[in-house]
Amino acid sequence: MADDNITITFNCGKCRTQLSWPDDACDSTEICCKQCGERAGTYGELREKGTEAARKEVESMLQKAFENWR
């Protein structure tokens, strides 16, 4: 069976460090790289990007599943 997990990670655009944020972040929380301080955007902006990336991945997974189904 194919891997049906989707993992979305965000890396700093400047130093490539993986970004993280507090569990209680709200949409307006500014997310900055803990390594170099580069601003990555707000939690809301990153959440939207992650949602879109996950949607595209699901579409790709479905397309592959139906191609194999024929």
Residue (of 34, 30, 42) closest to 17 by Cα position? 34
pLDDT at 3: 66
pLDDT at 67: 83
Instruction: State pLDDT tens for residues 1-58.
Output: 456 788 899 999 999 999 999 999 999 999 999 999 999 999 999 999 999 999 999 9
pTM of this prediction exceeds 0.75: yes
Q: Where are the chain's structural domains?
A: 9-70
Instruction: Count Cβ neighbours within 10 Å for each residue of 1-28 and write b for 16 or more, e otherwise.
Output: eeeeeeeeebebeeeeeebebeeebeee
